[in-house]
């Protein structure tokens, strides 16, 4: 069941997770999220997402089988269930908790970053977290990867070649996700060089 | 889900100290209090529905900054009463309205769920015995008091809010930047909201 960490605890082992190829499972292969519909006459297949009053950026989804849902990760989780892709939310209690943890990180840390230093910390932390992982939840591709990829895209697009090498694990993960079928869509493809140019990048 | 005074580096991949953290048997570490609460509830066989997810996201994005600002006024600047509660007034009304709309004893139904634990845990440092909750928010008051009487909540409060814990909480707040009462977050240019459904 796990234990709460004390300050003296030690932690993750590095380097015991092989990089695995993964099956293609596009989010919307069976019609996606078609059951959520707009409340006010909209007919878009995903429902009409509008901003909430209090926080300018908070999306609201009016579903046709219940009350409206508020919040990016809440709506995204709902859409995943509508698309019958529950595996994207994690398969075990542990994986589910990890997925939700990174979804929360996305809306608090990534969306809340307001300066270069915040951005640097996010990339540094993700880089060390991803050192021994293919995806955020481990070896399985989940909603956390999708939303983190979308949230980081505008940051990654501005990185220099040197920075992409400095955050090598983030770059590797990001490159995986942008090539995952059906995820990138209209977002620009970001170029990552496979071989190191700078041997002293760290 | 109060981020307890984070002074120790227990999560190896995070630059900022972060507590509480839960190390799982697999070696994975949960560093989000809400994710830790979710994990315990999932282990007990309870799945999370949209309503619970929405409360947890609201707690992390809206309630936490509001509670931090109010605690800062109370514990660092010595304000009290209405003045100290100004940053959380809207959030408190939101909880009261949520209870009224569902017509249930707890936030997601008639039994306490992960949403109740997380929201109660965030509010507890502000209200403790519940006596200074606004009188006009009756549902909030009765919900808060019934949560506070649960044995696990009483035990958690006793463990965390010792006199030493209260001092640590104040010391932690003093190290924080002065919270902005408006909680305006920077605009972002993300295109994702309408993208995943084609």
Domain boundaries, chain A: 61-179
Q: Residue A39's pLDDT is what? A: 34
In the predicted model, what is the mean pLDDT of residues A151-155?
96
Chain B positions touching A157 (Cβ under 8 A) are none
In the predicted model, what is the mean pLDDT of residues A147-175?
96
Q: Residue A49's pLDDT is what? A: 63
List the single residue in A with minimal CA-CA distance to B12: A11
A32 pLDDT more than 80: no
Which among B35, B43, B197 has the least Cβ separation from residue A79?
B197
| Whether complex ipTM tops 0.90 | no
* Helix residue ranges, H only, B75-162: 81-85, 89-102, 114-127, 138-149, 151-160
CA of B133 to nearest chain A CA: how many angstroms apart? 23
List the single residue in A with minimal CA-CA distance to B30: A98
Tens of pLDDT, residues A46-88: 455 665 444 457 899 998 877 899 999 999 999 999 999 999 9
Which whole-number Å values give the CA distances from B97 to B92, B106, B149, in the listed order?
9, 12, 22
Which whole-number Å values give the CA distances from A33 to A46, A104, B164, in the listed order?
6, 22, 51
Q: Residue A2's pLDDT is what? A: 60
Which is higher by pLDDT, A2 or A148? Answer: A148
* Helix residue ranges, H only, chain B: 33-43, 50-58, 64-71, 81-85, 89-102, 114-127, 138-149, 151-160, 163-175
Q: Residue A3's pLDDT is what? A: 58
Q: Given an 8 Å threshold on Cβ–Cβ distance, is B29 in contact with A32?
A: no
Which among B23, B62, B197 has the least Cβ separation from residue A45?
B197
Chain A positions touching B42 (Cβ under 8 A) are 93, 96-97
Q: A161: pLDDT confidence band, cut at 50, 70 and 90?
A: very high
In 3D, which of A98, A144, A14, A139 has the Cα closest to residue B13?
A14
Chain B positions touching A186 (Cβ under 8 A) are 191, 195
> In sequence order, which residues have a C-beta less than 8 Å from that of residue B41 and are 6 or more positions away?
B48, B113, B114, B117
Where is average pLDDT lowest: A13-27, A145-159, B25-39?
Answer: A13-27
Q: Residue A50's pLDDT is what? A: 60
Determine which helix (DSSP H) or strand (DSSP E) holds A60, and give its type and residue range: strand A59-61
Taking residue B82's Cβ as centre, other Cβ atoms within 10 Å add up to 10
A185 touches chain B (CB under 8 A): yes
CA of A202 to nearest chain B CA: how many angstroms apart? 16
Interface A-B: count of C-beta contacts within 8 A: 181
Q: What fold is seen in the domain A61-179?
A: Glutathione S-transferase Yfyf (Class Pi); Chain A, domain 2 (1.20.1050)
Tens of pLDDT, residues A88-107: 999 999 999 999 999 999 99
CA of B3 to nearest chain A CA: how many angstroms apart? 13
Q: Residue A189's pLDDT is what? A: 95
Per-residue pLDDT of chain B (198 residues; tens, 9 = 90+): 344 444 567 788 888 877 788 999 898 999 999 999 999 999 999 888 999 999 999 999 999 999 999 999 988 888 888 888 999 999 999 999 999 999 999 999 999 999 999 999 999 988 887 778 888 999 999 999 999 999 999 999 998 888 887 787 888 888 877 776 544 444 444 443 443 433
Q: Given an 8 Å threshold on Cβ–Cβ distance, is A124 in contact with B15?
A: yes
Global pTM value:
0.80
A127 pLDDT more than 60: yes
Where is average pLDDT lowest: A32-36, A126-130, A135-139, B82-86?
Answer: A32-36
């Amino acid at each position: 069941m796990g234990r709460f960490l004390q300050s003296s605890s030690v932690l993750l082992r590095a380097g015991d997770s092989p990089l695995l190829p993964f099956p293609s499972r596009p989010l919307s292969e069976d019609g996606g999220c078609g059951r959520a519909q707009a409340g006010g006459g909209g007919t878009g297949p995903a429902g009409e997402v509008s901003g909430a009053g209090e926080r300018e950026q908070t999306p609201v989804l009016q579903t046709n089988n219940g009350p409206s849902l508020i919040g990016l990760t809440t709506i995204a989780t709902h859409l995943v269930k509508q698309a019958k892709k529950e595996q994207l939310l994690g398969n075990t209690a542990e994986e589910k908790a990890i997925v939700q943890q990174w979804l929360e990180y996305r809306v608090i840390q990534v969306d809340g970053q307001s300066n270069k230093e915040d951005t640097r910390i996010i990339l540094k932390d993700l880089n060390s977290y991803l050192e021994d992982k293919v995806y955020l939840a481990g070896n399985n591709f989940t909603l956390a990867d999708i939303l983190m990829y979308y949230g980081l895209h505008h940051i990654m697009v501005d990185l220099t070649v040197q920075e992409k090498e400095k955050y090598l694990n983030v770059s590797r993960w990001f490159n995986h996700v942008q090539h995952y079928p059906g995820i990138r869509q209209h977002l620009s493809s970001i170029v990552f060089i496979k071989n190191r140019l700078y041997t002293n990048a760290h | 889900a109060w981020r307890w005074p984070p002074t120790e580096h227990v999560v190896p991949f995070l630059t900022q100290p972060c507590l509480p953290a839960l190390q799982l048997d697999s070696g994975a570490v949960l560093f989000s209090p809400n994710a830790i609460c979710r994990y315990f509830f999932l282990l007990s066989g309870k799945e999370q529905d949209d309503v619970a997810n929405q409360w947890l996201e609201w707690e992390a994005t809206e309630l936490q900054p509001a509670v931090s600002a109010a605690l800062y006024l109370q514990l660092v600047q010595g304000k009290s009463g209405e003045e100290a509660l100004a940053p959380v007034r809207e959030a408190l009304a939101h909880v009261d309205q949520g209870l009224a709309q569902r017509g249930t004893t707890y936030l997601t139904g008639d039994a306490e769920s992960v949403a109740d634990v997380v929201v109660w845990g965030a509010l507890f440092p502000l209200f403790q015995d519940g006596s200074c909750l606004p009188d006009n928010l009756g549902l909030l008051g009765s919900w808060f008091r019934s949560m506070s009487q649960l044995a696990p909540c009483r035990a958690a409060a006793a463990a965390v809010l010792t006199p030493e814990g209260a001092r640590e909480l104040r010391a932690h707040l003093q190290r924080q930047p002065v919270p902005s009462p408006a909680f305006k977050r920077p605009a972002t240019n993300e295109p994702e909201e309408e993208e995943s459904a084609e």
